[in-house]
Amino acid sequence: MDSSGTDRVDRLPRRALLAGGVALAAASLFPVAARAQGSWPDRPIRMVVPFPPGGSSDSLGRVLAEGLREALGTTVVIENKPGGTTQIGTDQVFRADPDGYTILQGSATAFSVLPNMRKLPYDPVTGFEFAGGVADYIAIITARNELGVTSLQQLIDRAKKAPGKLTFGSAGIASAGHIAGEILKREAGIDLLHVPFKGSGQLIAALIGGEIDLILDGVGLGMAKSGKAVALAAFSDRRHPELPDVPSLIEAGVKAKLPTGGWGIMAPRGTPPDVMRKLSSALEQVVTDPKNVDAMLRFGVVARWTPPDAYSKGLEDARAYYADLLPAIGLKGER
């Protein structure tokens, strides 16, 4: 068989055969990898929301999921993963495969507050890729109707007459609403009793049912607009666009430096840059769409697109802010 192909192959050096095989394998795999990244997304995306259903964060996630479905042409499945004041869901995404099919609806709580309170299983600085900021959180200081107060000053006067008697609810220890309440206590010189719940959704029934006297949470917007509770102030340096007649905290007479932050979308570290660019572009399209802006406003969230680098820098600045603030309001944590 001196003229057969088999005979010629047999006479090739072994090293040449091995090199050729490796090159052939690489050539066959490269197009597959290129197609996998180039066609992203070609299957459903899982978006982890580290909050329970029913609150502002959950509602925001559902608006974003629908918008991304339209922008990217694939289903975005919401997975609520509450616990640990956002730690559990955030850590789950940190440990996920960096393939673009698991993303996080992150918050300042996970990336700016908790790093100052406890040792975390995830790295808030280098453990994620940032797609951009999507919305700001403006809590509404909302009181139950039966309390009989119609302004923040009236609430402050009542609290000063009965220290520690009035209660405020929050979505949990170190949640945005809890920290806002502690800031109000410090800056207004009053004493309020904090009552933590498991998520913002539970605050509605608790306030209407008289279990607590007030909340500092985005869910207060809907309650105030429906007349089920009274809005005293927007916990912000500006008024909420849906409550133009309700003063900001500063206008209501409480001069306080307020924390920055908001919601953003992240993915595990190592997610391909082209995937992150495509995700970021789609998010900007979703967040600036007027119909989504209106939908977010209805549950107390103010849409605001922030490019990835600027959003990451904002979280860094907020970490420094909370490093000074948290010990001053008694939230020293375990660190």
Per-residue pLDDT tens digits for 278-311: 999 999 999 999 999 999 988 778 899 999 999 9
Q: What is the pLDDT of residue 8?
A: 39
Residues 198-241: tens digit of each pLDDT: 888 899 999 999 999 999 998 898 899 999 999 999 998 889 98
Q: Please state, rounded to an integer, the average pLDDT across all residues of the chain.
A: 88
Question: Of 162, 125, 155, 120, whose CA–CA distance to 269 is shortest?
Answer: 125
Give one DSSP letter per residue of 42-92, joined into a string. Answer: SS-EEEEE-S-TTSHHHHHHHHHHHHHHHHHSS-EEEEE---TTTHHHHHH
Q: Where exactly does CATH 3.40.190.150 map onto the chain?
A: 45-136+260-328
Q: What is the pLDDT of residue 151?
A: 97
- In this prediction, the residues of the chain whose per-residue pLDDT falls under 50 are 1-37
CA distance 80 to 65: 13
Q: What is the pLDDT of residue 92?
A: 98
Element (H, E) at 33: helix 14-38
**Cα 216 vs. chain centroid, distance in angstroms?**
17
Q: Where exactly does CATH 3.40.190.10 map onto the chain?
A: 139-235
CA distance 190 to 139: 19
Are the C-beta atoms of 27 and 171 separated by less than 8 Å?
Answer: no
Q: What is the pLDDT of residue 164?
A: 95
Q: What is the pLDDT of residue 115?
A: 95
Q: What is the pLDDT of residue 1?
A: 42
Fold assignment, 139-235: D-Maltodextrin-Binding Protein; domain 2 (3.40.190)
The CATH code that applies to domain 45-136+260-328 is 3.40.190.150
